[in-house]
Amino acid sequence: GRPTFHHFSPLCPTLPQVFLQVQGQGTNWLIETVCLIYSKGDPKWVQSEPIWDRSPWVETKHGYELLKEKEGPRLISSHLPIQLFPKSFFKSKAKVIYLVRNPRDVFVSGYFFWKSAKFVKRPQSLEQYFEWFIQGNMPFGSWFDHIRGWMSMRDKENFLVLSYEEMKWDTRSTVEKICQFLGKKLEPEELNSVLKNNSFQVMKENNMSNFSLLKGQYLEENGLLLRKGVTGDWKNYFTVAQAEIFDKLFQEKMADLPQELFAWE
């Protein structure tokens, strides 16, 4: 059955929780970045505590149990579509950072992740995964429906939309935008330290952030959660026919949303 979180008591309305809500890979990069902002660029926290404990996933048993125990403002991660989100959030002062990414890159990144994951039905081929993706036959439903649901929040002051692409192309401005949204002030050297420690390469080498701790248990031994960290990789995998099907679907589903929300090639 579907998970329900209607009585998610730890969400006290007076505390500024921060939800990192992502539809599309880039989740862990955003979590790492926000953690580094909170520690003012000091990498000790991100190097000593696993990423899923720093910002627990509300929809997992492990994450939910951790969040119940945590006092005060917390970082909370989620992939949930809006209709399954904790109802208490909508009455609270919690802030949401919602990260979107070119769905073509989401598709490719997701394919390699699910192919190495041990806890889901795995795609047998890229073609099979393409069918699943365009039909919305995915663990958290359709990418298109997820975006449409959450974009209804886009004009609220406690909701920030970011794109993976802008984060990649201009990381400094994006970090500054996150700081402003969260009311965090960083000194220039602290900001530089955030930018140094949130780079893809540094994250990939950090065992608390690269999911190597889960190899053998949830991921295959050769599974990589942090694979390339690039934009536009979809061009290496899509056939012309797939690209056409995808473009048509995107135009149908997203026609009534402002196109500036989708800052990719």
Give me 232's structure tokens: 């536009």
Residue partners of 142: CB distance under 8 A and separation at least 6: 135, 136
Q: What is the rounded CA–CA span in Å between residue 115 and residue 16? A: 37
Backbone angles phi, psi at 15, to 5 degrees: -105, 135
User: Residue 226's closest CA among 207, 245, 244, 239?
Assistant: 207
Distances 178 to 34, 103, 118, 158 between C-alpha atoms, Å: 8, 22, 34, 12
| Among 7, 62, 79, 146, the one annotated catalytic | 79
Residue partners of 90: CB distance under 8 A and separation at least 6: none
Q: How far is CA 91 from the centre of its chain?
A: 23
79 among known catalytic residues: yes
Backbone angles phi, psi at 237, to 5 degrees: -125, -30
Distances 99 to 29, 41, 150, 254 between C-alpha atoms, Å: 10, 21, 11, 16
Q: What is the rounded CA–CA span in Å between residue 98 and residue 27? A: 10
* Nearest 10 degrees: Cα torsion 212, 214, 215, 217: 170
Active-site residues, by number, are 79
